[in-house]
Amino acid sequence: MTRVKICGVTNSEDARDAALLGADAIGLNFFPDSPRFVTPERAMGIIDSLPPFVTSVGVFVNYGDPEALEDFASSIRLDAVQLHGDESPDYCSMISRVKVIKAFRVDPNFRVERLRSYSVSGILLDAYSADEYGGTGHTFNWPQAAGANAFGRIVLAGGLNPDNVEAAVDQLHPFAVDVSSGVETAPGKKDYDRMYRFMDAVHRADGASLISGK
């Protein structure tokens, strides 16, 4: 079954709604330039509101020292860190106390073989923007990700919403999908109905795959 992460959560109410609807993980953004940025104090309140078995993922961009990142993640009880900057394979390998999801922005020159160098828990594929490290609300050319599953657990992101996620899952069969702006009414404010429809679309895609034997 395709896992679902609702990213850019900024309040406990949205976190609880996401969990109630069946989300496997919620994302908390610690990049100061993001409109979905949360303070450590707010993040801890959101994490405390989560039920058991829902994973908390912290989103970071070029944080600096990996040991300091581990210390920060442990201090607020994050289960995983999602790295959206220019982190190298060596940087990622120095993080061992929490799981690492490395994000890659897919531009026209992207090749899946690039993923081979990273030994991480998950690989997130997002749309490329010269001005932003993620959260653009745009999709990328999905065929460019063909074969990415050979290099690890793929998390598909970038412009996903209730209307296109079923096709994305059917085409790429990712380990997980990641949505933020596609289920929002405003940056950082999630919409219950959109989250419901997103989850329903993922379940339909999974059901179709089971029937077809893909």
Half-sphere exposure for 7 (CA within 13 Å, toward CB): 35
Give the domain CATH number at 86: 3.20.20.70
Mark whether 170 is an active-site residue: no
Q: How many domains does the structure of the chain reveal?
A: 1
Q: Apex CA 180: angle with CA 178 and CA 181, to 5°?
A: 140
Q: Is 202 helix (H, G, I), strand (E, B) or coil?
A: helix
Mark whether 126 is an active-site residue: yes
Report pTM.
Answer: 0.94
Closest CA to 87 of 133, 30, 126: 133
Q: Give, for all 214 residues of the chain, the pLDDT tens digit.
A: 999 999 999 999 999 999 999 999 999 999 999 999 999 999 999 999 999 999 999 999 999 899 999 999 999 999 999 999 999 999 999 999 999 999 999 999 999 999 999 999 999 999 987 666 666 678 999 999 999 999 999 999 999 999 999 999 999 999 999 999 999 999 999 999 999 999 999 999 999 767 776 6
Q: Which domain holds residue 61?
A: 3-212
Half-sphere exposure for 61 (CA within 13 Å, toward CB): 13
- The residue from 14, 17, 92, 126 that is catalytic is 126
Burial class of residue 143 (count of CB atoms within 10 Å of its CB; 0-12, 13-18, 19+): exposed
